[in-house]
Every structure is written in C-alpha cells, then in structure tokens.
C-alpha cells in the first residue's frame, strides 16, 4: 500500500475518532443521567453542547470531505502523476484535516475555516497533479 492509499484509510478514520470524542464524556453514565443513548444516538448527539457538539460537527464535515479527497487520489493515480507528488499532497490533506479537527475542538472558527480551505485546495490539486 502506498502512502496516498494509507492516507485514504487515515482520512476515513478521522470522522470516527471525532465521533468517539463527541461521545466520550458520556460513556459509563446511565442514559437517564445524561449518558450516551445508543437507542437514539443522533438525537443524543444533537443535544450536546460545547466541544462535544463541535466534535460531532467535525465528524460530519470529515465524512463530507472524504469523497473529493478519495476521488482526487484515485484520479491522480489513474493519470499516473508522480507518486511522490501524490503522496505529499495526500499527507498535506491529513495534516490539514488534523489541524481542522483541533481548531474545531478548540473553537477557533477562523483558523478552522483556513484549514478546511487548505484541505479542499489540496483535494482539488490532486486532480491536476500530473
């Protein structure tokens, strides 16, 4: 597996990690005491506030960012762009998404938007990396 394909796997796991963070404070508590409600998890997550709500939003955005990134990597591979360039862009995407998640959790909205834009720009750059 090359680096870019490994980055697809990592990018696919980032939303799952954010979801775990969103739910983390409630694990172990009973449902009637504010604990995680696995019977209606989406409604439970929608009621969260603060960093937990932001972690949930980062999870949702992570899933939204995946298709463009995955398509970019696959198109770059299909067009036989230099592998080192594809790998560097894919790693850049991962760095941008990690920074995005950290900025979202810390509630740095403007910085978060810059990291989001960087991720989109990198995903688009993959299409033209040949």
* 3-class SS of residue 98: helix
- The string of pLDDT tens digits covering residues 68-104 is 999 999 999 999 999 999 999 999 999 999 999 999 9
Q: Is 50 left (phi over 0), alpha (psi -120 to 50) or beta?
A: left
pTM of structure: 0.90
Domains of the chain are 3-127 (1.20.120.550)
For residue 91, the model assigns a pLDDT of 98
Residue 119 Cα distances to 28, 42, 99, angstroms = 35, 26, 10
- pLDDT higher than threshold 80 for residue 30: no
Q: How far apart are CA 128 and CA 72, in angstroms?
A: 9
* Mean pLDDT calculated for residue range 58-64: 96
């Amino acid at each position: 597996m090359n680096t870019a394909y490994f980055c697809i796997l990592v990018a696919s796991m980032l939303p799952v990690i954010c979801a775990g963070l969103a739910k983390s404070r409630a694990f172990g508590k009973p449902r009637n005491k504010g604990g995680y409600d696995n019977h209606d998890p989406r409604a439970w997550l929608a009621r969260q506030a603060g960093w937990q709500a932001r972690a949930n939003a980062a999870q949702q955005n992570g899933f939204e960012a995946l298709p463009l990134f995955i398509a970019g990597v696959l198109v770059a591979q299909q067009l036989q762009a230099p592998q080192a360039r594809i790998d560097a862009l894919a790693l850049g995407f991962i760095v941008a998404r990690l920074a995005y998640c950290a900025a979202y959790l810390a509630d740095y909205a403007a910085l978060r938007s810059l990291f989001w834009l960087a991720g989109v720009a990198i995903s688009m750059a993959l299409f033209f990396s040949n």
